Structure 1
Amino acid sequence: AAYQALADAGVRAINNSWGSQPKDVSYETLDGLHAAYAQHYGRSTWLDAAAGVSRQGVINVFSAGNSGYANASVRSALPYFQPDLEGHWLAVSGLDQQNGQRYNRCGIAKYWCITTPGRLINSTMPGGGYANKSGTSMAAPHATGALALVMQRYPYLNNEQALQVLLTTATQLDGTPTGAPTDTVGWGVPDLGRAMHGPGQLLGRFEANLPAGLRDEWSNPISDSALLQRQ
């Protein structure tokens, strides 16, 4: 009901961070991910509610987890199991203060994963005030906020298209534009400067329907590196 209420209110992106995985779950291997997903399979959970609004067009942003596994959590990797969610799902890994990747890596979620600051982030606290906290729960809001700015820049794009702009204009940790996502950081770090100049890749059919009288200019080079990687 909560997810649907947000969708009904016109919310375009939902930031999600719901604690650590059970102690008997590991995301280090695909077998571990499959075992974790099996706990959800065949019964309705809150994750189905999140998936339901993504099928209506809402972007769900999920923290990847903090255990240092080779893969993002089963929640943030859900499009691997339910492919129709890709395009409306974003996994977020984290960086430390030296710009190094920490926490769970993107892994199997790399095609819908980015990496943002997650170490010693000054954040609001329950009951009031601020404190420095670390983890992908700190990283995910950076990604959700960046996505909101892209949506604001392109009011004529739908949610999936705005997410595609954010992903395909990200850079790797050395600052170079991402050609194809990596298992470690996915698409890399959001580059809002590049994102203001259109997508960096077209991952499928992309129709920009500008209203009458509105003009825009995209100037980023367009590659097909990610599409070639997935062949």
Structure 2
Amino acid sequence: MRRPIRGREEQMQRKIVSLKPGVPYSKYEKEIQQQGGKIIEHLPLINALLCEFPANRSVEVAGILSNNPHINRVDDDLPIKIINFFNPYFFFPIRKKETPKQMKQQIGWGVKRINCEDFLTVNPKRRVRVAVIDTGIQADHPDLRDNIKGGINITGNPADISDPNGHGTHVAGIIGALNNEIGIVGVMPKIDLYAVKVFNSKGEGSLTDIIRGLQWCINNRIKLINMSFGSPVDNPTFKEVFKKAYQSGLIMVAAAGNDAVEHKMQYPAIYPETIAVTSLNERNSISNFSSFGQGVDFIAPGDQILSTWNNGGYKVQSGTSMAAPHVTGAIAQILNKWGDLTPDQVKQHLKLTAQRLSLRPEYQGAGLIDVAKALKTDPKVSRYYSMVASYYGLS
């Protein structure tokens, strides 16, 4: 639960009040005020209200409002964090190093491992629009700037998409760093990247920040989003958010989590509406920090990945946060080659063309993504095999 906000006389706590359809949300304002609360904003993605209530009555008020026939439920505005190895919440000690700001371009081991090396000079048939929901992006980075097309800052000045943390810039580079003569090259070097900044400099945000970010993506015709963030807990509102986003046609790639102790997957990666990704190391084994479980869809390189950093240079990072953007970039390649596909069609195509590794299913899902095979195999074939498998009860 988000920390209570201190006012002049009392502490306030934020709740998400989910409404039933058909009644204007303005009609709830009086009842909410009667309970000592106030409406902060309407959240159209899930037809809900973000409200503040006195902290010492928040549980009581939630019970009262839940009995209203026009209200579905009242849930906490959960805290959400980026999934990063140096974040104490998902901590795992891994060597860090910075490299010179300008160096001769190299192709990372991750790009090679997913069989993308031969497709880095592809001229796009269409510029795929990809959002990085994260800490922002350094838009003037010399290895990114031609691909950064805009974005939104949910945490403050809407126009300020800069990255005070570095996490979002690192993720963006894995997806779409330029194919030039410096630094690194992303999985899809010709792409339209949008920074959806929902986390502060410490990598902290909330469920409503995520809701606002997803709504912006829908409103701005974003097709594909990378989500290298998570929470160990969820609630019904959290689940509904991703169902609605999925129904809108968003393809959502999620990092599984870096739970180095119990290896429990994080939300939203657990949800079937997302594409959940675990981390592979250079030895073709699951990274020892990676979360895993029955909900895993794919495995991708996430160990010791060199990418862009927010000082204009480059840095090595490890985590499922680095694995997810390899899949996001691969999907961008697929959408460029094969055109508009639904989230289900994309997932099925990736499953059919993935490389099965000598790992347990809960570690790898369908396996390691294979860009070369995904670009050479027509998705119509994937859909055919999917229908056959479904008919015979094999899917």
Using structure 1 for the length normalisation, give the TM-score. 0.66
Count residues with an aligned counterpart.
179
What percentage of aligned pairs have identical amino acids? 29
Match of 1:142 in 2: 326
Superposed, 1:8-47 pairs within 5 Å as 8-18=219-229, 21=231, 36-37=233-234, 40-41=235-236, 44-45=237-238
Match of 1:161 in 2: 345
Offset from partner CA, 1:157-201 (integer Å, 9 cap, x none): 3343123212221011259xxxxx922210111112221212465
Match of 1:107 in 2: 293
Contact 1:71 1:108 in 2 (8 A): no
Distance 1:123 1:165, change over 3 A: same
Match of 1:217 in 2: none
- Gapped regions of structure 1 (runs ≥ 5): 26-35, 80-84, 176-180, 206-222
Structure with greater strand percent: 2
Distance 1:105 1:182, change over 3 A: farther
Superposed, 1:192-203 pairs within 5 Å as 192-196=371-375, 197-199=377-379, 201-202=382-383
Correspondent of 1:98 among 239, 264, 283: 283
Structure 1 window deviating more from structure 2 (66-75 vs 50-59): it is 66-75
Contact 1:72 1:108 in 2 (8 A): no
Contact 1:105 1:185 in 2 (8 A): no
Correspondent of 2:266 among 57, 66, 73: 73
Using structure 2 for the length normalisation, give the TM-score. 0.41
Distance 1:163 1:129, change over 3 A: same
Contact 2:309 2:315 in 1 (8 A): yes
Alpha carbon RMSD of aligned pairs, Å? 2.9
- Gapped regions of structure 2 (runs ≥ 5): 1-211
**1:184 paired to 2:363:** yes
Displacement, 1:228?
4.2
- Give the AA of the match of 1:15: N
Tell me, in whole angstroms, the C-alpha distance in 2 between the residues paired with 1:171 and 1:204: 17
Distance 1:106 1:229, change over 3 A: farther
Offset from partner CA, 1:80-120 (integer Å, 9 cap, x none): xxxxx3xxx1001011111111233542213xx11100011
**1:5 paired to 2:216:** yes
Equivalent position SS for 1:2: helix
Equivalent position SS for 1:3: helix
Tell me, in whole angstroms, the C-alpha distance in 2 between the residues paired with 1:204 and 1:63: 25
Larger radius of gyration: 2
Tell me, in whole angstroms, the C-alpha distance in 2 between the residues paired with 1:170 and 1:67: 25
- Give the AA of the match of 2:286: Q
Tell me, in whole angstroms, the C-alpha distance in 2 between the residues paired with 1:157 and 1:135: 28
Q: Which runs of 4+ in 1 moved over 3 A?
A: 47-51, 68-71, 103-106, 156-159, 199-205, 227-230
Match of 1:224 in 2: 389
Tell me, in whole angstroms, the C-alpha distance in 2 between the residues paired with 1:70 and 1:201: 31
Distance 1:189 1:78, change over 3 A: same
**1:58 paired to 2:58:** no
Displacement, 1:204?
5.1
**1:151 paired to 2:350:** no
Match of 1:218 in 2: none
Tell me, in whole angstroms, the C-alpha distance in 2 between the residues paired with 1:90 and 1:156: 17
- Give the AA of the match of 1:17: S
Offset from partner CA, 1:43-75 (integer Å, 9 cap, x none): x45x65444222211011110011244552232
